Amino acid sequence: MSIRPTVEARRAVPTMEGAGVKLHRAFGFHDPSELDPFLLFDDFRGDHPNDYSRGFPWHPHRGIETITYVLNGTVDHGDSLGNEGTLGAGDVQWMTAGSGILHQEMPKGNIAGQMHGFQLWANLPSSLKMTAPRYQDVKSNDIPVIIDDDGTKVKVIVGEFWGKKGPVDGIAADPQYLDISIPAGVKKRFKIDTYRRAFAYVFAGSGAFVDASAPEGVLLEKEVMGEEVNIRDMSGNRTLVRFGTGDEIVVQAGEEGVRFLLISGAPIEEPVAWHGPIVMNTQDEIRNAIKELRNGTFIRPAH
């Protein structure tokens, strides 16, 4: 066994998307070879509706797949093909944009006003850029959960792990997408295919990944004993950990335990031309997509 070294551990960056949704971006619109086949990862969460309620109104996608995973609240979605629905807590939607789709996503908070979810963009190879769009909506109850003897809990969203197979299939990047919780003080090893690019995203508690320093948490202003103070919030540290090559990672959970997403996929290794939510292989293809958006031919008729 060879342990994957930590290439980098960095904090997600606050940004704003859609019609004014406050979120944190772990990576995106950067060097696409860094985490190929993955292009972007956003953590959108808020305790107040004004952080997220304006949502992500109608916008196009082409040449990629988007993966939305909701933890708290709901996300209403609709598209130009007439599909619509609602993602609840624990639900997942894997959308293959393919040749092109217009859609919108409108988050709503839970009874306490809290909203939390993630969105990951995965690239499509040139041979599938113009494939027909499709959805895979998966309810929380359909996602297998494994609990190990030491209390480690793994939700298998995509791929195979510990003898269980996630419900999402037929994805070009052949990814593995796991939601992992490790109890306080437990040290755990997880196997990853040597030929996959891999990253972890810590979003609750704290932990150390072999040679990585433990995530510090987010510096937040909170009221303590009637006074506003800056503290490190270990309940939402928003830390991206990027791994080198090897066939396993080792995680040491901190005193509060740790919860993170572990995501890996087979690199596509093709040129990337990027224009926001449209990702193709050449600038000519991008220009053609923009022209089609303008003249109303972006959406292809169903066959």
Give the span between the Cα atoms of 159 and 168, in whole angstroms. 8
Digit-coded pLDDT (tens) for 9-35 = 889 999 999 989 999 999 998 888 999
Whole-number pLDDT of residue 80: 82
Which distant-in-sequence residues (6+ apart) come within 8 Å of 202 by Cβ?
215, 237, 238, 239, 241, 258, 259, 260
Mean pLDDT of 172-181: 89
Mean pLDDT of 196-216: 82
Residue 302 confidence class, pLDDT cut points 50, 70, 90: low
Query: Would you state the torsion angle of the CA atoms of residues 218, 224, 230, 232, taken in this order, to the nearest 10 degrees?
Result: -30
Concatenate the DSSP letters of all residues of 148-212 into one string: -TTS-EEEEEESEETTEE-SB---TT--EEEEEEE-TT-EEEEE--TTSEEEEEEEEEEEEETTS
Task: Work out the angle at residue 114's Cα, subtended by the Cα atoms of residues 109 and 118, and round it to the nearest 5 degrees.
Answer: 85
Give the span between the Cα atoms of 27 and 32, in whole angstroms. 10
Instruction: Specify the residue for token string 């960095």.
Output: 10
Digit-coded pLDDT (tens) for 231-266 = 555 445 899 999 999 999 999 998 889 999 999 999
First-to-last alpha carbon distance for the chain, in angstroms, is 48
Q: Is residue 265 within 8 Å of 175, Cβ to Cβ?
A: yes
For CA atoms 138, 141, 200, 113, the dihedral sign is positive
- Read off the DSSP letter of residue 3: B
Q: Count of H helices and E strands in the chain?
A: 1, 25
Give the span between the Cα atoms of 95 and 141, in whole angstroms. 19
Q: Is residue 232 within 8 Å of 218, Cβ to Cβ?
A: yes
Residue 224 confidence class, pLDDT cut points 50, 70, 90: low
Digit-coded pLDDT (tens) for 121-137 = 999 999 999 999 988 88
Mean pLDDT of 88-109: 93
Concatenate the DSSP letters of all residues of 33-55 into one string: TSSTTEEEEEEEEESSGGGTTT-
SS3 134: strand
SS3 252: strand
* pLDDT above 90 for 198: yes
Of 196 and 29, the one with more pLDDT: 196
- The two beta strands, 92-96 and 84-87, are unpaired
Residue 96 sits at φ, ψ, to 5 deg, of: -90, 105
Mean pLDDT of 45-56: 92
* Closest to 83 measured CA to CA, from 140, 135, 18, 138: 135
Whole-number pLDDT of residue 231: 54
CA distances from 254 to 183, 215, 217, 235, 244 (A): 8, 10, 12, 12, 23
